[in-house]
Amino acid sequence: LQALRLLKADGLVVDAPGRGLQVAPLDGDGVAAVYQVRAALDVLAARLAAQHRAALAPSLIDEGRRAARGRDVRAMIEADVAFHRAIYAASRNPLIEPSAHVHWHHIRRAMGAVLQRSALRATVWDEHAAIAEAILAGDADRAAELISGHDQRAAEHMRRELAPPLSSTTTLREGPTS
């Protein structure tokens, strides 16, 4: 029961009237809201990491590119998480990673659903590489701009992919009908 309470508190399960609990449905707008919070944390982390001129391991980008070429969704997600966690660690702010961790549960779930039915955007690892370069160069403004845009594009991609399809019976009309 305690585990179910924790899952409910994290928004991963919801009440199902008359049936107990059910897995929370994925909602594009809800996931986009999670990405807004992640973006704020990512921007802060990238700025701080750039102030330290942190060098992110090149293997992070290499592993991410390799995962993106494959079909293993879990590997794609883990590579993405590893990249962002490296930025959190490079920020040297011990509060960023645990604050972001709560939201990554939702992001992983959404990524898993989306990556199963759509191709990973080909540019994601180019974006990650550019972010890492800006951090290493100590360009905090550029790193923040790049990671903010990266997160905004990811949020919009998730929102589109998780939007419910229009019903085939839905009719859109313009103007008055007779």
- 63-116 per-position pLDDT tens digit: 999 999 988 999 999 999 999 999 999 999 999 999 999 889 889 989 988 888
- 109-151 per-position pLDDT tens digit: 899 888 887 766 668 999 999 999 999 999 999 999 999 999 9
Instruction: Give Cβ neighbours of residue 98 (< 8 Å, ≥ 6 apart).
Output: none
Predicted model pTM: 0.82
Q: Are 157 and 121 in contact (CB under 8 A)?
A: yes
Mean pLDDT of 166-174: 43
Q: How far apart are CA 160 and CA 28, in angstroms?
A: 7
Q: How far apart are CA 142 and CA 67, in angstroms?
A: 26
Q: Are 140 and 47 in contact (CB under 8 A)?
A: yes
Q: Are 70 and 85 in contact (CB under 8 A)?
A: no
